[in-house]
Structure 1
């Protein structure tokens, strides 16, 4: 018995010694590279196991490993993962985590809806900009400015005024790129367009912006041609804290922002609130603007399985606008010239003001069903109110002395003309009298997006869900300034109000009051119609990944219905149009294969049958259905290679996109400053090209970035061209050969390089240079397009972060930006393609009759941000 006991004791001692020898104790301290401070709460996990710990308040950790040697993975929200080896008991010392350029774990709510590339095994053409870079470089610009250092992205139109930018991806306009807010579609339902002034607050509330060029990896039932841009906003912050920020810039720009979060409390509740106000005079004359942003988010963690988050945000704003004009006008009056404003009795008054308020609300629900499946759902709503002002009746150019010697509107002459009319009554039918009207675009939009994910097995994941939307838009005009008139006689304009009647009521163009202050039906002028659009889609995705190989297949089907009610062109019995219903679908698939430890190749392909936009279904903004409109057909092919190490990364992307049966629209103004619209139908485009992205970090304090893109974007075949005036009356219809014509509006060749160097601890300098070539006029589908001069832009920035407080957890950040450092004079966009002939006046070889935007010259801004 003693021998047996002794043997058991020896066996137990041997087993204990073996287990002890097979384990190790790994210690270290995790530091924030940006703050040079300990990073509490970082995750430390033994690779290949679920064995892990978190760093304490001082960034320290101790991990008892299950093996005597191996690797540990150190990660934290918004930082690059670090993998370190250990062998036996190991003290890893100080471990520094760098802020990364991905979106991994940025959001805690709606993760199943916010479809980001970081959860894709199959690589795609993607770029990501995180909050710190947005806050640093946005300055006085809108959110599109954060994407300018991205291959195949071209941003223009900033000269139009605050928020009037136009962003194109791979040569495709904004109505053909999908824009999402936390996975919620935000392109206009009627025409697919984006009005960035309505979203001026995104830069304040964004956690990150990700652009997936081309086919992308979005699981939603959307058919984007150029790509998908996802704006990921804050949700309810996990930790208590806040910030206060102030910035100033050129031409009296001022902005203040305050934010605070309770953090996720023990009760499971939390709240985050942010408010901001901005104002400025704009770069060009007569482009003043002002606005606010509000953001309120309430989160509730019911239990480990259920998270809820309710968010309300909006950005009420107004801004005065500048239009494209002849180069000869700029030569006469200067590069900041704007003919849309003047002075009435010594007071500034703009003819063209955009004002809008678009509150957005959504409720996110994340449900972790079990270890393998989850469901994410968002219910959302938005209510847009506002419009844009312009001339009604006789324009100032038709009035004696209506233009001053310096090319501005002579409002005093306009008022004198109005005072000379009998009874000071204008007449809309005879175009006598002159007033300022607003074209009002009100809407209510409700939707739901839901996505179910199931890990079928170790290698196969299934996603499927639905995208439902309903939209009601109301469009009409109303008077905002009678300029001395007593009213306008509207008789004979409307089918439902045929008898003469006087409209004398004026309405506010302030964004807050526009929510409720707008004209009733009997006070509306020029036109009045409603539109209803209903959309329903279902989508699904299978993704397979094993070892070095991965593949995915996505598909969706959708149906979209349209109807309109026109109260001006039709009697009450005939105001409702025919309801048009169109089905659509898309399929995408691809695969990738890892080449060694750092490289990966991929191929993707997709085919879309996309429904036409509402504005292309009904002819001339009437109830007449356009017989030429049919589903647009898009075929996309992509291939690429990525290589990534902690020091160097590169990606090469090749694409070919064929787009048939599409509609192209453009606008221009004539010698009298009247606006005209040109629509090309039945157009086919073929876009092909290559893209390169680079990142190199030779030393800890220096990061070098680069990009290049070369495209060949052309029209194919014939197109039907329809010309309309500002009141949407048809002037002409022609067939045109456009085969081989260059697609305009975006530079087809671009490259750039950027440097970010930390001079001393927490003080850095950065610079970006971009070059643009093969930029053609945005003049619709034409065979012989006008090529604009190439140009290059240089931006510089300085950043300094000062740690404050007893433990250094608070900070004050300072940022200075100087954009277009060399004050380059360049044409960013042209709406006409008038070729220069012998004897014509030219500017850099361009006929001076072309109507263009010049890009902004040298600008600056400075900001401070206190984080606590």
Structure 2
């Protein structure tokens, strides 16, 4: 028998419902209202007593059991100032250093974990867009009170839907990788459940204020949570405001506010209902990837999307998201059976603005024709005088010229420039139920059923005509109508260009059996899901009159998934865990319809994605040393990907939709995370990730032309061109740094201040490759239809060689201090990332404009190609400062 009492170190008050557990042994309990605890422990065995409570420093105490009653006395817990680092993490999660098209930051998934490797991945590697195991965030499941929040469109959770509500979403349960979750079958990256019930939050009022030079400059937040009651009403309300005229990247405004309310009513001890309402509105200016030529001219903060208008910054590409969530849950909790049944309704709009130009010059100041390289790489010979003039002109006027836009439109009734929004309007209903049953002492059965119904509308809407009377809704490249049945003259607030809807219905059920007995633990999970998609065109497009208007054929997928795991505990300090998953995943919405804005055409022979994943983990829990080493192997098969770009290929030139099928990817590597306690005040950490993420097949490639731009000999009856396979097997994936290392040290003073430093090294990062340049069409001369004589395999390999991005070091500092004054808790937290202001590229992509050997070789002769890869650059030295006041 083991007993003791837990007190708050700062005011010596008792702490109730503190979690008491034995590491490596399934034995746990909670302290009572007087702070005391008592639990049975194995006789004649050494183990580690773990005392944990949200937002407090976890305490680990070595215990030697001799079969007698052992009283450990009073155990003091102190507030964990480092929890304020979560606020720092949110700024990274919301970041748009990467464009939405390829951004897949997973750091938000990891904020609920105390695993040292995952903490480093989120808080230190995250600023370089490191991805755990190279996975996209669509492979991590995020739940809000047990209800899935991942979007159908791209599979990813939209963190902006609850951004700025850090206090209201602090209560999170995270399971990593293939580990079993009691809430869901889960994703191979992990499962996060955010619990908004007020009874799980710290009661009281909290005010906080932050300043930063990252995505926003300032933030104010207030949260109040009432005291939890055995019966009756408990509530929590939270609100925040975040803003910046521009963030770290030039021209990236930030304007966001968030409010939430949670009301929990307990009928009795097992039964309660909880209502949650969340509104998070986020508006911000977007930034662009740039070529190395542009970087050398104007630096890493450069963003071509903005310019001054009447002395104020105006960004042509803004994003605004406002998708409120309403949710009602019933919870039944007892020792043998838990049941969570919920319904939710989410609605709202996602706007992305864009400046369109019609029979007018491209307004982008970094457009390739306006840069020095255009004149140096001219087919008729280099013109250095014009190149120098272009350089001087760009440096004098590097930003978008709004005055010229207004001048161009002001002289015509028909607009040459149009600012419009790409709009997505969603309405989604979800109902689900999750149960956990303790069958007997060693067996637990978990199950869940979820139904989701989504109705989405997609359209373009004119925002500003810049003084013109109307916009002519005709495709300027083919001179065809976007809507045969509509009025071609469009005014502000009119829908134009495209207009369609997507309906998605999804049913998912999972069952899981877990066995836990002495030194053995095992689980088996089964998931079955069915999904249906259908497009409904609202415009009849003149380019596709037969299949653009009306409903498409329904597209349906039914899938099974399996997960299993086995744990062997050598003792309370060492354990071995093996996990395996085999599952089918339906394609996400954006990879089903080839060109949904214009027609109902779907990807031919569309398949489920097959995923085979396995990992082996060794955990160590010594009195001074804790950690984990993991080896993993994951293969993705039959993936589909769709890309849009303009290309001068060997089979024609035009805007195309590139469709990749039968695409396989291989992810394998090792993760290591260790934490060693040098003393009660000093800890050191060591973390390493060594991965190898590659293409594992040569996928089939087809491109869909506006058929006027393609050679007729190559076009099949469906209007696409089959380019065969792309030779990309063993090329590296663009999934962030594939190698990452960190050494950290922290000091926690008895007088309630704390400081830490982490040195990080990140390497083996790659830009996304152009697939079309790895097909047979690349070798064809479009003028003759024959291969280029000089396009030998050796020459092509040199031209298409994949080079890694920068390897770089980052030094990050964090620290804080807290005070307790007359029952009021005050804390300050500060962090400085990238202390030495290192410049590094976080990602990028090869441009596909030069889709044939002749043009690409010509463009690369000077060493400064006009269509060089474009890169995103990481933040330099940044800071974050947070002051919080709780009472």
TM over 0.5: yes
Please give the alpha-carbon distance, in whole angstroms, between the structure 1 residues aligned to 2:866 and 2:70.
72
The equivalent of 1:609 in structure 2 is 584
Over 3 Å counting, the alpha-carbon distance change for 1:343 and 1:394 in structure 2 is farther
Please give the alpha-carbon distance, in whole angstroms, between the structure 2 residues aligned to 1:171 and 1:764.
32
Please give the alpha-carbon distance, in whole angstroms, between the structure 1 residues aligned to 2:250 and 2:455.
36
Question: What does 1:11-90 align with in structure 2 at a 5 Å threshold?
Answer: 30-33=6-9, 35=10, 37-41=12-16, 54=32, 56=34, 61=36, 75=51, 77-78=53-54, 79-80=58-59
Please give the alpha-carbon distance, in whole angstroms, between the structure 2 residues aligned to 1:829 and 1:343.
28
The equivalent of 1:294 in structure 2 is 259
Please give the alpha-carbon distance, in whole angstroms, between the structure 1 residues aligned to 2:21 and 2:555.
59
Counterpart among 538, 559, 566 of residue 509 in structure 2:
538
Over 3 Å counting, the alpha-carbon distance change for 1:446 and 1:758 in structure 2 is same
- For the residue of structure 2 that corresponds to 1:275, the secondary structure is strand
The equivalent of 2:726 in structure 1 is 736
Please give the alpha-carbon distance, in whole angstroms, between the structure 2 residues aligned to 1:45 and 1:657.
36
The equivalent of 2:605 in structure 1 is 628
1:863 aligns with 2:863: no
Q: TM-score, normalised by structure 2?
A: 0.78
Which deviates further from its counterpart, 526-535 or 340-349?
340-349
- For the residue of structure 2 that corresponds to 1:38, the secondary structure is coil
Counterpart among 628, 633, 640 of residue 651 in structure 1:
628
Counterpart among 712, 727, 737 of residue 692 in structure 2:
712
The equivalent of 2:402 in structure 1 is 411
CA contact (8 A) 1:553 1:588 kept: yes
1:602-625 Cα shifts (integer Å, max 9, x gaps):
211111112112222222222122
Over 3 Å counting, the alpha-carbon distance change for 1:267 and 1:76 in structure 2 is same
The equivalent of 2:421 in structure 1 is 438
1:216-247 Cα shifts (integer Å, max 9, x gaps):
32366657344444445564456641111011
Please give the alpha-carbon distance, in whole angstroms, between the structure 2 residues aligned to 1:188 and 1:859.
31
Question: What does 1:296-335 align with in structure 2 at a 5 Å threshold?
Answer: 296-335=261-300
Please give the alpha-carbon distance, in whole angstroms, between the structure 2 residues aligned to 1:293 and 1:490.
37
Please give the alpha-carbon distance, in whole angstroms, between the structure 2 residues aligned to 1:356 and 1:617.
24
The equivalent of 1:524 in structure 2 is 495
- For the residue of structure 1 that corresponds to 2:308, the secondary structure is strand
- For the residue of structure 1 that corresponds to 2:726, the secondary structure is strand
Over 3 Å counting, the alpha-carbon distance change for 1:366 and 1:94 in structure 2 is same
Which deviates further from its counterpart, 301-310 or 377-386?
377-386
In structure 2, stretches of 5+ residues that fail to align are 96-105, 371-393, 649-653, 710-718, 775-799, 849-855
| Cα deviation, residue 190, structure 1 | 2.2
The equivalent of 1:482 in structure 2 is 465
Please give the alpha-carbon distance, in whole angstroms, between the structure 2 residues aligned to 1:533 and 1:502.
33
1:393 aligns with 2:357: yes
1:134 aligns with 2:86: yes
- For the residue of structure 1 that corresponds to 2:699, the secondary structure is strand
Q: TM-score, normalised by structure 1?
A: 0.80
The equivalent of 1:850 in structure 2 is 869
- For the residue of structure 1 that corresponds to 2:347, the secondary structure is strand
Please give the alpha-carbon distance, in whole angstroms, between the structure 1 residues aligned to 2:510 and 2:42.
44
Over 3 Å counting, the alpha-carbon distance change for 1:469 and 1:726 in structure 2 is farther
Please give the alpha-carbon distance, in whole angstroms, between the structure 1 residues aligned to 2:609 and 2:843.
26
| Cα deviation, residue 790, structure 1 | 0.8
Please give the alpha-carbon distance, in whole angstroms, between the structure 2 residues aligned to 1:174 and 1:625.
25
Please give the alpha-carbon distance, in whole angstroms, between the structure 2 residues aligned to 1:754 and 1:278.
31
Question: What does 1:55-454 align with in structure 2 at a 5 Å threshold?
Answer: 56=34, 61=36, 75=51, 77-78=53-54, 79-80=58-59, 92-97=72-77, 131-135=83-87, 138=90, 142=94, 147=110, 150=117, 168-201=131-164, 203-207=166-170, 212-218=175-181, 224-233=187-196, 235-237=198-200, 240-250=203-213, 253-265=217-229, 267-280=231-244, 281-368=246-333, 371-394=335-358, 397-398=361-362, 405-421=396-412, 424-426=413-415, 433-454=416-437
Question: What does 1:637-786 align with in structure 2 at a 5 Å threshold?
Answer: 637-665=614-642, 678-722=658-702, 734=723, 735-779=725-769, 784-786=801-803
| Cα deviation, residue 551, structure 1 | 1.0
- For the residue of structure 2 that corresponds to 1:857, the secondary structure is coil
| Cα deviation, residue 773, structure 1 | 1.1
CA contact (8 A) 1:820 1:859 kept: yes
| Cα deviation, residue 666, structure 1 | 5.6
CA contact (8 A) 2:563 2:582 kept: yes
- For the residue of structure 2 that corresponds to 1:398, the secondary structure is coil
| Cα deviation, residue 460, structure 1 | 1.1
Please give the alpha-carbon distance, in whole angstroms, between the structure 1 residues aligned to 2:251 and 2:533.
39
The equivalent of 1:498 in structure 2 is 485
Which deviates further from its counterpart, 647-656 or 826-835?
826-835
| Cα deviation, residue 172, structure 1 | 2.3
Please give the alpha-carbon distance, in whole angstroms, between the structure 1 residues aligned to 2:627 and 2:880.
32
1:460-515 Cα shifts (integer Å, max 9, x gaps):
11112212111111100001111111121336866755354422133xxxxxxxxx
1:690-726 Cα shifts (integer Å, max 9, x gaps):
1111111221112222221111111122213356799
Please give the alpha-carbon distance, in whole angstroms, between the structure 2 residues aligned to 1:461 and 1:364.
23
CA contact (8 A) 1:666 1:780 kept: no
| Cα deviation, residue 283, structure 1 | 0.5
Please give the alpha-carbon distance, in whole angstroms, between the structure 2 residues aligned to 1:53 and 1:196.
34
Over 3 Å counting, the alpha-carbon distance change for 1:591 and 1:303 in structure 2 is same
Please give the alpha-carbon distance, in whole angstroms, between the structure 2 residues aligned to 1:289 and 1:797.
25
CA contact (8 A) 1:44 1:55 kept: no
1:48-80 Cα shifts (integer Å, max 9, x gaps):
999997363xx6x59899999999978563345
The equivalent of 1:561 in structure 2 is 532
CA contact (8 A) 1:706 1:754 kept: yes
Which deviates further from its counterpart, 136-145 or 689-698?
136-145
The equivalent of 2:556 in structure 1 is 581
